[in-house]
């Protein structure tokens, strides 16, 4: 069930399903790739999300009729292959301690040890369904239910960039300093949002992320190297 809808005079939304699933999201990424592969006159950019792609166009160069016609052709016979596609990006994470003040709570809540939380969290690859909320903030799917943990009752006013957290059934990384209500279990030394560096971002929607546990020493080492460029 594909739906193509107008978004004002500058956008078109293509809905490819109404659930969060790997299959639908794979179709989203496939359509997104097709659009970018074709470089259609007047199309400015796209926003792939869980089950839709938003296409922004320049109304001085094209219009809804022309863009929606192209999109309906491109949306034909999308396969929606499951299994991880895109690239796999490893994110080093120093778990616990001052970087992960809520690690013990997550362990307690799941009635497991902190070591098990780390092992479970870092033992699978997470699909990036969408980027949003903050620049470079990945919405990740597929977390193990043993570490599902409700959000904090009152959000923190400032969470440092790089913090890795769990919010309900989701896990993610705060790409910049921000308020937020997720349970923090660790921090990556990687700088995920670098406005001064134009070019390929570390990851995009459709890629996958693997968290790799590191020690405090390794954290400091990587951090130093990052800062030196």
Binding site for another protein (CB under 8 A): 5-11, 13, 15, 18-20, 44-54, 56, 59-60, 63-65, 130-137, 139, 175-176, 193, 195-196, 198, 201, 204-205
Which DSSP string do the residues of 11-30 spell out, in sequence order? EEEEE--SS--HHHHHHHHH
**Min. distance of Cβ 199 from another protein in angstroms?**
10
Query: Which CB sits closer to another protein, 51 or 140?
Result: 51
Q: Whose structure tokens read 């790409």? A: 175
**Min. distance of Cβ 85 from another protein in angstroms?**
16
Bridge partners of 72?
none
Q: Which helix (H) or strand (E) is 126 found in, with range?
A: strand 125-131
Cβ density class 134-152: b for 16+ within 10 Å, e for less: bebbbbbbebeeebbbeeb
Query: Which CB sits closer to another protein, 56 or 152?
Result: 56
**Min. distance of Cβ 163 from another protein in angstroms?**
16
**Min. distance of Cβ 217 from another protein in angstroms?**
30
Query: Which CB sits closer to another protein, 15 or 102?
Result: 15
**Min. distance of Cβ 100 from another protein in angstroms?**
23
Query: Which CB sits closer to another protein, 105 or 129?
Result: 129
Structure-block tokens of residue 41: 């006159």
**Long-range Cβ contacts of 191-199 (<8 Å, 24+ apart):** 191/161, 191/162, 191/226, 192/136, 192/161, 192/162, 193/134, 193/135, 193/136, 193/161, 195/135
Query: Which CB sits closer to another protein, 91 or 117?
Result: 91
């Amino acid at each position: 069930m594909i739906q193509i809808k107008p978004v004002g005079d500058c956008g078109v939304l293509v809905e490819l399903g109404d659930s969060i699933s790997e299959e639908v999201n794979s179709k989203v990424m496939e359509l997104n790739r097709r659009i970018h592969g074709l470089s259609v006159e007047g199309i400015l950019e796209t926003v792939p999300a869980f089950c839709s792609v938003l296409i922004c166009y320049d109304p001085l160069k094209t219009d809804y009729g022309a863009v929606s016609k192209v999109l309906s052709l491109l949306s034909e016979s999308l396969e929606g292959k499951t299994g991880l596609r895109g690239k796999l990006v490893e994110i080093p994470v120093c778990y616990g301690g001052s970087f992960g003040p809520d690690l013990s709570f997550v362990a307690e809540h799941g009635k497991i040890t902190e070591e098990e939380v780390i092992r479970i969290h870092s033992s699978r690859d997470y699909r990036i369904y969408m980027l949003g909320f903050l620049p470079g903030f990945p919405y990740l799917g597929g977390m193990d239910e043993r570490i599902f943990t409700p959000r904090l009752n009152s959000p923190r006013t400032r969470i440092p960039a790089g913090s890795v957290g769990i919010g309900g059934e989701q896990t993610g990384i705060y790409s910049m300093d921000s308020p937020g209500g997720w349970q923090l279990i660790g921090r990556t030394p990687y700088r995920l949002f670098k406005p001064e560096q134009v070019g390929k971002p570390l990851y995009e929607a459709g890629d996958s992320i693997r968290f790799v546990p590191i020690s405090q020493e390794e954290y400091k080492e990587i951090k130093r190297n990052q800062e030196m460029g």
